[in-house]
Amino acid sequence: MDARGAVARISLEAIRHNLKVAKQHAPDASAIAVVKANAYGHGDLAVAAALEQDADMFAVARFEEAQRLRAGGIQLPILLLEGFFNIDQLHYAARHNFHLCVHSHEQLAALERTPLAAPVTVWVKIDSGMHRVGFLPEEADAVFARLSRLSQVVQPVNAMTHFARADEPDNRGATDEQIARFKAVTEGRVKHTALCNSAGVLAFPDAHADFIRPGVMLYGITPFGEQQGTDVGLRPAMNFTTTLIAVREHKAGEPVGYAGSWVSPRDTRIGVIAVGYGDGYPRMAPAGTPVLVNGRRVTLAGRVSMDMATVDLGPDATDKVGDEVILWGDGLAAEEVARHVGTIAYELVTRMTARPRLEYTD
């Protein structure tokens, strides 16, 4: 008997491989490795340190994320994907080589009225169709003109946009339109351009431009709903594991877990595994969601609770307490688990809590 709780084993080698795959798809582009949200749950400092040789920049969503990377010794420029949220962050960004996305009139006006210790590099966000943040194409000229007058901004500025539907291989038209709108207002007017998330890297070679912004693919996960990372040459970077903490004889007709929502159709053995929503394993995972026990596919039986989940091991099971369980990773793609849960693998890896230990292999 030697059980333990949930552990996420992270392969830095897989993450380096996946960045190489992204760069092979876009050989003429520089790479901005997206490590927001704790590197999609994989540990931002460890991941950034592993990629610092091969990436050209990093990107995060929040100022505090960039600050953590700098404090941890990361030297490459760091792009703040939504720019600065207040003036203190603007000053800090200029001193620490954070590149700023500028997406709003509020940010533009704040930049105009704030003298900085050093000029800051700006990426103007163009809203080419996502309609979340960014300047509309018809505003672009005026924005570029205003920025070109500022000594606190590195000249000339860069421009970026973000795709809403690049992960839909059967619906290329919407992305083609975004590419066309972006190019029409940026060509010849800016220094560098960047359009592509992972889906763009994989599916829209004519949009690779100067910089790509791969995120989820670095972690071995494909952005395309019906595929998994290994189908496109990626290696899953996270092996989310736990162990059996109990194996119990269970009678046909008896329920398991909260609300008795699952009732066994047969005499069987129920395995109790040390993972729950307190670790980030989704409570919404229904009975039938696959789990690997000793490399064998079994399924969840009953509700996921905070610290435990239950699986139907089958009547002839010989699994015992302490045996290894894989929740997603080698042999069970996070993408497949996500489909059972009704979400995307991005969310599974990103919402891991602080409880599971992250262990790294090079």
Ligand X SMILES: *Cc1c(COP(=O)(O)O)cnc(C)c1O
Residue number with CB closer to ligand X (319 or 335): 335
| Residue 157, Cβ density class (10 Å: 0-12 exposed, 13-18 middle, ≥19 buried) | buried
CB of residue 36 to ligand X, shortest distance in Å: 6
Catalytic residue among 23, 36, 125, 183: 36
Residues that bind ligand X (CB under 6 A): 34, 36, 81, 162, 197-198, 213-217, 223
Residue number with CB closer to ligand X (214 or 229): 214
Helix (H) or strand (E) holding 99: strand 98-102
Q: Cα 143 vs. chain centroid, distance in angstroms?
A: 30
> What does the alpha-carbon distance between residue 191 and residue 212 come to, in Å, rounded to a whole number?
15
* Closest residue by beta carbon to ligand X: 215
147 in Cβ contact with 105 (< 8 Å): no
Tokens of 119: 């000029």
Feature table: binding site: 132, 306
CB of residue 18 to ligand X, shortest distance in Å: 11
Residue number with CB closer to ligand X (223 or 236): 223
CB of residue 93 to ligand X, shortest distance in Å: 17
> What does the alpha-carbon distance between residue 97 and residue 139 come to, in Å, rounded to a whole number?
27
Tokens of 237: 């970077």
Q: Are strands 309-312 and 268-273 parallel, antiparallel or unpaired?
A: antiparallel
CB of residue 40 to ligand X, shortest distance in Å: 7
Question: Around Cβ 24, how many Cβ atoms within 10 Å?
Answer: 10
Instruction: Mark whether 183 is an active-site residue.
Output: no
| Residue 110, Cβ density class (10 Å: 0-12 exposed, 13-18 middle, ≥19 buried) | middle
> What does the alpha-carbon distance between residue 115 and residue 133 come to, in Å, rounded to a whole number?
25
Q: Could you tell me which residues are beta bridge partners of residue 90?
A: none
Residue number with CB closer to ligand X (57 or 247): 57
Instruction: Give the list of residues 6+ apart from residue 61 with CB closer than 8 angstroms, or none.
Output: 36, 37, 80, 81, 82
Residue number with CB closer to ligand X (234 or 317): 234
Catalytic residue among 191, 219, 251, 258: 258
CB of residue 319 to ligand X, shortest distance in Å: 36
Closest listed residue to residue 123, CA positions, set 7, 209, 229:
209
> What does the alpha-carbon distance between residue 67 and residue 178 come to, in Å, rounded to a whole number?
32
Instruction: Mark whether 360 is an active-site residue.
Output: no
Question: Around Cβ 165, how many Cβ atoms within 10 Å?
Answer: 15
Feature table: binding site for substrate: 132, 306
> What does the alpha-carbon distance between residue 275 and residue 306 come to, in Å, rounded to a whole number?
8
Residue number with CB closer to ligand X (153 or 201): 201
CB of residue 140 to ligand X, shortest distance in Å: 17
Query: Catalytic amino acids?
Result: 36, 258
